[in-house]
Amino acid sequence: MDLLNALVAFANFVFIPAVAYGSQLALGALGVTLIYGILRFSNFAHGDTMAIGTMVTVLVTWWMQSVGISFGPLPTALLALPFGILGCMALVLVTDRMVYRFYRAQKAKPVILVIVSMGVMFIYNGLTRFIIGPDDQRFSDGERFIISARTFKEMTGLDEGLAFKTTQGITIVTAVIVVALLFWFLNRTRTGKSMRAYSDNEDLALLSGINPERVVMYTWLIVAALATVAGVLYGLDKSFKPFVYFQLLLPIFASAIVGGLGSPIGAIAGGFIIAFSEVTITYAWKKVLGYTLPESLEPDGLVQLLSTDYKFAVSFIILLIVLLFRPTGLFRGKSV
Amino acid sequence: MSAPVKNTLLFALVGLLILLTGVMQSWNSALLILNMGLVSAVMAIGVNLQWGFAGLFNVGVMGFVALGGLGAVLVSMPPVGEAWAAGGLGVLAGLLLGAGTIVAAIIAYRRLPRGRGRALAMAGILVVGFFVYRAVLDPSVEAVEAVNPAATGYLGGLGLPVLLAWPVGGLLAAGAAWLIGKTALGLRSDYLAIATLGIAEIIIAVLKNEDWLARGVKNVVGLPRPVPYEIDLQNDPGFVERAAGLGIDPVTASTLYVKVGYSILFLVVLLVLLWMAQMALKSPWGRMMRAIRDNEVAAEAMGKDVTGRHLQIFILGSAVCGLAGAMMTTLDGQLTPGTYQPLRFTFLVWVMVIVGGSGNNFGAVLGALLIWFLWVQVEPIGLFLIQVVTSGMAEDSALRLHLLDSAAHMRLLTMGVVLLVVLRFSPRGLIPEA
Amino acid sequence: MSGGAYDDRGNRDRSIANPDGVGTLVARPGTKGARQTAEAFLIGDSMTGGYGAGPDILHDCTVAVNRGEIAVIVGPNGAGKSTAMKAIFGMLDLRQGSVRLDGQDITDLSPQDRVVNGMGFVPQTSNIFTSLTVEENLEMGAFIRRDDFSGTMAQIYDLFPILKEKRNQPAGELSGGQRQQVAVGRALMTEPKVLMLDEPTAGVSPIVMDELFDRIIEVARTGIPILMVEQNARQALEIADKGYVLVQGRNAYTGTGKELLEDPEVRRSFLGG
């Protein structure tokens, strides 16, 4: 029984939150990795792209709520999501047209594009704050739990409750669907294959008649969709605050690099590795250990390896370890 | 127009902007802008050393600046004797143990033969070391933080003159830079950018959470000053008399006096650094740096130690950023870890360097002064513009109120636009590298 | 500063900037005036030119291939063999001369447009998509075709049976010789009117080289004229209908493969006796 309780506590406080967070990171890292593979730079504006897509979704959600449109037990934000994606797509395409395309035509070095993306980051960041303000915004509604802790306790008779939030469920399901769609697109469609070919060998792609501007456009569209989905899921699960989205840049980059920059599978693996490490290292294990260990060995402290404020340090240290011992990332990306 | 004339005009323009602020707003605002502008210029020189001279992509400026600030606290604040008695030695011992663990792991990695045994040994050392470190550190930290938490709750500093803190801040930053550079620069794939981004966040996290070190988010306030206090000046009859002689009221006069004092100090530091950076640029060392930057392979083939030189300049640049951080904390008179944000302390400095002209020290200084001026002044200008634009709207129109509310965020937008416009139309900056 | 306004200041940060696969292909079509010479299926006619504003590398150099033939360009290192091929493919600044395909002047077309017009080109290096499977490589070869290309793919699998076997493997995992087959197969997917190979046997073992030459002969037997640059002059001339020996960007000797192999001058200078 104690072991079951320990398992439930583990699932409740570590496993489920980490899976949800990992899915969000993975979606974000996929966007970063696609840009790196095809446009060949690390997009510092990615966190703010997520924020913009989420902001549009939040605004549409509020409007829907105000006119009484709802999605039953599911959050209204899911209905608003397509609008957020469209808004984000429009914005990144305009940005590409007005900013990035010039540097592609100049054959500017990738690092110049990184600096350019810093400028875009400032603008997106300013836009978000200008429109919705820098404060915390909540926009989730509908049922809060798929299984609440109390129901679970009643159902199973265990001491530990297992709460499964609707937002966590939605995050996981959505992430699976989005990733499946992305991989189907990249591996099965002509356009998707041409994107991979372009990322692999630009000259040969040009010789094969692949139009680089089309590849770039599709990349931005996909990245906008991924960023918005990741941002909305994160916002539903926690809350929407522009600065936090900017800060997500570090764990997202860490995920992409740990997995191997340029490798979509790596981005997903990296996202989960970072998420699980962050959650396990900053979780206070007292409860779980209390159930599993004999009373005499029960710990006095919280058994928290690092305080939650050091979660960035966790992503960073994992990044460091992977890069020291396997510089290309786990899935042989391009950061040789 | 020849380059020197153009550059002089550019500097004159920035000077004029600041003078205008003095005339139109107040001389206090003007000096405030000038002082932070000078500090920013020092940061920009640091970043320019790394990016402009050597092409090193450091996006962790914030961390080095914060370390400089920490240096200011550690040097200038009076020591808290009670806290030292409560757990000072324990904290030191804990930190030494932590460092020892890492050193032991590195030695194990170097000495033991490759294989699973080595990995296990390293993991063992690290895990055991971690728990020993926590076991020694945690109780001492608790004891230290329990000492009068509302006022101190930390170990305090050395109680030395604050000016001494400036080089110490630089040294702290240099030490951190050495650690980062040693791990990040030597690898086949150098991932300095992401490493610096991460380390900056970690430094801020440490400052925010390790209360025993610098009180965390409770902030250390009331740092000693290198210049007199306003209140003392106001109580000094001689000063009041002189102020009256100039026709200024004593309160304003005292604030101006203090700010000018800072300006002079900062200007001296800036000029010395600028001179040193210029000499470095023109020296054989500077030429070698640029040669490495422009063709690393060729430089390496000619027997230049590329990684070594990169490490050198990375440490130097970071030290300059740390120095600037100590100067800034001295100017503020307080260390507030909560206010360190990458947009403001890392990316804004980058905008300064790029706009001013990467690779040119004068460009970096100009960019810093100009961008800092904009950063401060965009807010009132934006507010004014929005007031003009929305003046036709109803007084209580929600859109109007929202826009007025949001004017403060115009500065981020403006910085982005300025950076993109300069990159597009004058990619080498206002004062290009010679 | 060395590289213009948008250079990278020597930055090597692989975690933020991806220098892999950055294209180098620059279209430089066009000359100032054409000259008419003999009718061949594909001819680079009296070409003079170099890269950008640099010095001329080719001097009045003519290379041609007739229907159903294999033409080989040989010569010492730095003779401009690959340059001549690039010129025919539109990647060189021609100051004089013209390129004609099937009687049509294509001097002013970009490399991409030349592919659309029926030229198949296999570069010397980076000539496959290493992370794509063999089959996907072939599909990308047929990217410009909007019709059903399964027939062409079946033909290529007939020509290169090993590719059919490894169709679902990433091309980067294949051996050197197999990669070259993928590269040639990729170029054949457009059903080109002429195939151009830039040193197809560079860096492969002698046994693999023989096999590759066999395959190339088989491709030629399907009726596609082949123009090829080769380092291994003797073997190449043995299978060549026509050979061009270039020296310092000029035509030094021209003749059938057999004639050149028997020419004592050529033998002494280029074939090692």
ipTM here: 0.91
- Got the DSSP string for B182-222? HHHTSSSS--HHHHHHHHHHHHHHHHHH-HHHH-GGG-EE-
Instruction: Give the confidence band of C33 by pLDDT, cuts at 50, 70, 90.
Output: very low
The residue ranking higher by pLDDT, C30 or B384, is B384
Residue ranges per structural domain of chain A = 2-325
Token reading at A302: 């919280």
pLDDT of residue C39: 60
Instruction: Give the confidence band of A192 by pLDDT, cuts at 50, 70, 90.
Output: very high
Please name the residue of chain A whose CA is at the shortest distance from the CA of residue C138: A208
Tell me the pLDDT tens digit for each residue of C101-119.
988 889 888 888 899 999 9
Asked whether residue C138 is assigned to any structural domain, the reply reads no
Read off the pTM. Answer: 0.91
User: Are both B270 and B305 inside the same structural domain?
Assistant: yes
Inter-CA distances, A113 with A118, A326, A335, C10, C124, Å = 9, 26, 17, 15, 30
Distance CA A328, CA B306 (A): 22
B193 min Cα distance to partner chain C (Å): 7
pLDDT of residue C34: 42
Q: What is the CATH number of the domain that holds C71?
A: 3.40.50.300
Burial of B249 per CB tally in 10 Å (0-12, 13-18, 19+):
exposed
pLDDT of residue A222: 97
Q: What is the 3-state secondary structure (H, E, C) of C239-266?
A: HCCEEEEEECCEEEEEECHHHHHHCHHH
Q: Is the pLDDT of residue C1 over 50?
A: no
Q: At B6, which helix (H) or strand (E)? A: helix B3-24
| DSSP bridge pairs for A165 | A145
Rounded to an integer, what is the distance from CA B279 to the centroid of its chain? 23
Least confident window among B115-124, B195-204, B403-412: B403-412
User: Are both B275 and B196 inside the same structural domain?
Assistant: yes
Q: Which of A36, A207, A258, A263 to mutate to test the interface with C (most CBs of C within 10 A)?
A: A207
User: Are both B101 and B39 inside the same structural domain?
Assistant: no
User: Are both B92 and B211 inside the same structural domain?
Assistant: no
Token reading at C35: 């000259």
Residue in this structure with the two tokens 């004797």, named with its chain if needed? B81
Burial of A108 per CB tally in 10 Å (0-12, 13-18, 19+):
buried
Domain boundary among B102, B124, B155: B155
Average pLDDT of span A114-143: 92
Distance CA C64, CA B136 (A): 83
B65 min Cα distance to partner chain C (Å): 22
Token reading at B301: 């083939």
Q: What is the CATH number of the domain that holds B375?
A: 1.10.3470
Q: Is the pLDDT of residue B226 over 50?
A: yes
Asked whether residue C135 is assigned to any structural domain, the reply reads no
Q: Is the pLDDT of residue C35 over 50?
A: no
Asked whether residue C165 is assigned to any structural domain, the reply reads no
Asked whether residue C140 is assigned to any structural domain, the reply reads no
The answer, for C140 touching chain A at a CB cutoff of 8 Å, is yes
Asked whether residue B431 is assigned to any structural domain, the reply reads no
pLDDT of residue A127: 94
Asked whether residue C77 is assigned to any structural domain, the reply reads yes
Tell me the pLDDT tens digit for each residue of A62-97.
999 999 888 888 999 999 999 999 999 999 999 999
Asked whether residue C110 is assigned to any structural domain, the reply reads yes
Q: What's the mean pLDDT when you consider all of chain B?
A: 90
User: Are both B44 and B113 inside the same structural domain?
Assistant: no
Residue in this structure with the two tokens 């200041």, named with its chain if needed? C9
Nearest CB partner across the interface for B343, out of A99, A125, A131: A125
Distance CA C263, CA B34 (A): 83
Q: How many domains does chain C have?
A: 1
pLDDT of residue C32: 42
User: Are both B176 and B302 inside the same structural domain?
Assistant: yes
Q: Which amino acid is present at B160?
A: L
CB contact under 8 A, C23 and A202: yes
Nearest CB partner across the interface for C10, out of B55, B192, B193: B55
Q: What's the mean pLDDT when you consider all of chain C?
A: 86
pLDDT of residue A265: 92
Neighbouring chains of B at 3+ CB pairs under 8 Å are A, C
Q: Is the pLDDT of residue A327 over 80?
A: no
User: Are both B148 and B283 inside the same structural domain?
Assistant: no
Instruction: Give the confidence band of A30 by pLDDT, cuts at 50, 70, 90.
Output: very high
Asked whether residue C158 is assigned to any structural domain, the reply reads no
Q: At the topology level of CATH, where does A2-325 sit?
A: ABC transporter involved in vitamin B12 uptake, BtuC (1.10.3470)
Tell me the pLDDT tens digit for each residue of C68-104.
899 999 988 888 898 999 999 988 888 888 899 988 8
Q: At B35, which helix (H) or strand (E)? A: helix B27-47
pLDDT > 90: percent of chain A:
58
Distance CA C47, CA C35 (A): 9
Using DSSP bridges, classify how beta strands C242-247 and C250-255 pair: parallel, antiparallel or unpaired: antiparallel
Asked whether residue C69 is assigned to any structural domain, the reply reads yes
B201 min Cα distance to partner chain A (Å): 7
Inter-CA distances, B235 with B94, B238, B240, B249, B262, Å = 48, 9, 8, 13, 20
pLDDT of residue C37: 47
- Got the DSSP string for C190-201? T--SEEEEE-TT
Distance CA B264, CA B268 (A): 6
User: Are both B232 and B98 inside the same structural domain?
Assistant: no
Q: DSSP class of residue B113?
A: P
Distance CA B169, CA A200 (A): 46
Nearest CB partner across the interface for C18, out of A41, A208, A210: A41
Token reading at B66: 């914060």
Average pLDDT of span A117-135: 93
Which domain, by its residues, includes C248?
A: 24-118+194-199+226-273
The residue ranking higher by pLDDT, B379 or B328, is B328
Q: How many domains does chain B have?
A: 2
User: Are both B10 and B119 inside the same structural domain?
Assistant: no
- Note whether C261 and C238 are within 8 A (CB): yes
CB contact under 8 A, C129 and A106: no
Average pLDDT of span A120-132: 94
Report the alpha-carbon angle C81-C86-C87, nearest 5.
Answer: 95
Tell me the pLDDT tens digit for each residue of C221-248.
988 999 999 988 888 999 999 999 998 9
> Which residues are CB-neighbours of C104 under 8 A, at least 6 positions away?
C117
Asked whether residue B318 is assigned to any structural domain, the reply reads yes
pLDDT > 90: percent of chain B:
52
pLDDT of residue B50: 93
Using DSSP bridges, classify how beta strands C93-101 and C42-50 pair: parallel, antiparallel or unpaired: antiparallel
> Which residues are CB-neighbours of C154 under 8 A, at least 6 positions away?
none
The answer, for C18 touching chain B at a CB cutoff of 8 Å, is no
- Compute how many other C-beta atoms are within 10 angstroms of the C-beta atom of residue A255: 31
Which domain, by its residues, includes B52?
A: 3-79+156-425
